[in-house]
Amino acid sequence: MPPEIHLIAAARPNLPKLAALLHALAEAPSFCTPVMVHTGQHHDAAMFGGHLADLGLPPPEVALGISGGGHASVTGRTMMACADLWSTRRPALVVVAGDVDGTLAAAIAARKLAIPVAHLEAGLRCREMDMPEEINRRAVDAISTLLWAPDKATAARLLADGHAPHAVCAVGNTMIDSLLRVLPAARARKLPAGLEAGTYGVLTIHRPANVDSPAALAALLQAVAEAARQLPLAWPIHPRTSQRLSEFGFAVPAGVMPLPPLGYLDFLGLLSRARMVATDSGGVQEEAWALNLPCLTLRPSTERPVTLEAGTNRLLPAAGLPAAIAAILAGDRARARPIPLWDGKAGVRMVAHLAAFLGAIRDPAPARWPFPLGGLA
Ligand code: UDP
């Protein structure tokens, strides 16, 4: 039996990234046995189960059942559950994706047991050190054995940070692999009743900086209300945001269609036929590029600057939303410029790097080096 590698699935945005690797592994000659480990961070059908099915993935083989609680609680309990699992079922490598708490927890637990870690989506930086995701991604990069970067500039920065050349690989963007794979099926999905292609915008908001304080959320809702007078907005509301809306007693503005969190295919179906998207999501900024869709990112910075350079994405404060939508409706928009390696083949590149690494662990003959045994030299 080829050695096991454990893929950590914690939250919704992990799934399209891991799916790209799992589908590429399924199409390659078998050299490892992938096992999906679900930490439990997102766990219901709307945020997890339905996405597995939409991405053509089977249910996870291992479920750790860790959900609820703050950052420290989730991270600590997930580390303990991973360590328990790996004390009896030790994989040859652990793959963690993105920047959620489960990603950090699994990476630390693995490295403390001297298990190599591959970070899928390594090297992203927004330099906002108050963002939980920025803390997680920097910490995970610092201890990862293999670092799979989405583009060449990001890989170059990891090398400049001192990571070994054989550890870093610019594999491309796994979100684009998954999007391209499902796009025909997504486009065939019915739009929510009342929406017609090309006549609405999409809104997604869930970052703590935008929704966790009454002042920030009120300012955002005011801008959204004004924007919706020009273009109706469809708003699939993230559970965190729903919770804050009801805690603060805020209503969804007129002209905005509230929707539950959508399945992956339904969401991409909605996005692919929209006029624009306003968001604070990382993945949506990338998907907008692939769909050549104007994206207004309601944040002061982005860890995905290539999407700014490619012309589809713009950063702005919430107050700038109405004017920015007016400009888009008046025809002020750039066509997406190409981004090298965002071509649907990131999974294949990860598989090649992984095969070389596992080969070097199993057969540490000089010819198979430079991979160091067990992790970073
Ligand atoms: N997404 C979805 N349904 C929704 C909103 C988003 O399937 O109602 C998908 C979206 O297509 C993208 C991913 O969720 O693939 C992004 O996740 P999220 O915004 O939660 O996290 P981030 O990318 O900011 O880490």
The residues with which 187 forms a beta bridge, in sequence order, are none
| Over residues 227-239, mean pLDDT | 98
Amino acid, single-letter form, for residue 362: R
Residues 211 and 154 in one domain: no
Taking only the tens place, the pLDDT of each residue in 241-275 is: 999 999 999 999 999 999 999 999 999 999 999 99
Q: Is residue 373 part of a domain?
A: no
Q: Which of the listed residues 52, 267, 273, 280 should we mutate to test ligand 1's pocket, taking the one with most ligand atoms within 8 A of CB?
A: 267
Q: Is residue 334 part of a domain?
A: no
| Over residues 221-234, mean pLDDT | 98
Decide if 255 contacts 194 (C-beta within 8 A).
Answer: no
Q: Are strands 93-97 and 117-120 parallel, antiparallel or unpaired?
A: parallel
> Is the Cβ atom of 281 under 6 angstroms away from ligand 1?
yes
Tell me the CA distances in angstroms from 26 to 53, 147, 176, 274, 351, one per residue in order.
Answer: 16, 21, 18, 33, 10
Residues 189 and 247 in one domain: yes
- Identify the band that residue 373 occupies on the pLDDT scale cut at 50, 70 and 90: very low
> Is the Cβ atom of 282 under 6 angstroms away from ligand 1?
yes
Using the atom order of ligand 1, give the atom closest to the CA of residue 283: 23
Q: Is residue 135 part of a domain?
A: yes
At residue 168, does pLDDT exceed 80? yes
The first and second tokens of residue 350, run together, are: 């990860």
Taking only the tens place, the pLDDT of each residue in 104-132 is: 999 999 999 999 999 999 999 999 999 99
Tell me the CA distances in angstroms from 126 to 135, 208, 302, one per residue in order.
Answer: 10, 15, 5
Q: Specify the pLDDT at position 1.
A: 87
Residues 207 and 325 in one domain: yes
Q: Is residue 260 part of a domain?
A: yes
| Over residues 154-180, mean pLDDT | 96
Residues 313 and 354 in one domain: no
Taking only the tens place, the pLDDT of each residue in 262-320 is: 999 999 999 999 999 999 999 999 999 999 999 999 999 999 999 999 999 999 999 99
Q: Specify the pLDDT at position 226.
A: 98
Using the atom order of ligand 1, give the atom closest to the CA of residue 100: 25
Residues 150 and 190 in one domain: no
Decide if 99 contacts 136 (C-beta within 8 A).
Answer: yes
What's 159's domain CATH number? 3.40.50.2000
CA 284 / ligand 1 centre spacing (Å): 6
Residues 189 and 167 in one domain: no
Residues 157 and 117 in one domain: yes
Q: Specify the pLDDT at position 370.
A: 62
Amino acid, single-letter form, for residue 303: E
Range of the domain at 79: 4-173+342-362
Q: CA 283 to CA 48: how far, in whole Å?
A: 16
In this structure, the residue with its CA closest to atom 13 of ligand 1 is 13
At residue 62, does pLDDT exceed 80? yes
Radius of gyration for the chain, computed over Cα atoms and rounded to the nearest angstrom = 21
At residue 376, does pLDDT exceed 60? no
Residues 254 and 299 in one domain: yes
User: How many domains does one find in the chain?
Assistant: 2
Q: Is residue 367 part of a domain?
A: no
| Over residues 58-73, mean pLDDT | 97
Q: Which of the listed residues 173, 281, 287, 303 should we mutate to test ligand 1's pocket, taking the one with most ligand atoms within 8 A of CB?
A: 281
Residues 347 and 294 in one domain: no
- Identify the band that residue 361 occupies on the pLDDT scale cut at 50, 70 and 90: confident
Q: Taking Cα atoms as reference points, which of 52, 34, 32, 56 lies closest to residue 44? A: 52
Q: Is residue 335 part of a domain?
A: no
Residue 206 is a catalytic residue: yes
Looking at per-residue pLDDT, the higher value among 362 and 328 belongs to 328
CA 6 / ligand 1 centre spacing (Å): 23
Taking only the tens place, the pLDDT of each residue in 209-224 is: 999 999 999 999 999 9
Q: Specify the pLDDT at position 141.
A: 98
Q: Specify the pLDDT at position 362.
A: 77
| pTM of the shown model | 0.96
Q: Specify the pLDDT at position 156.
A: 96
Q: CA 8 to CA 66: how far, in whole Å?
A: 13
CA 368 / ligand 1 centre spacing (Å): 39
Residues 114 and 258 in one domain: no
Average pLDDT, the chain: 95
> Is the Cβ atom of 284 under 6 angstroms away from ligand 1?
yes
- Identify the band that residue 367 occupies on the pLDDT scale cut at 50, 70 and 90: low
Using the atom order of ligand 1, give the atom closest to the CA of residue 263: 7
Q: What is the DSSP string of 95-139?
A: EEETTSHHHHHHHHHHHHTT--EEEETTT-----TTSHHHHHHHH
Residues 215 and 304 in one domain: yes
Q: Is residue 192 part of a domain?
A: yes
Tell me the three state secondary structure of residue 290.
helix
The residues with which 38 forms a beta bridge, in sequence order, are 9, 63
How many percent of the chain have pLDDT more than 90? 94
Residues 18 and 160 in one domain: yes
Q: Is residue 71 part of a domain?
A: yes
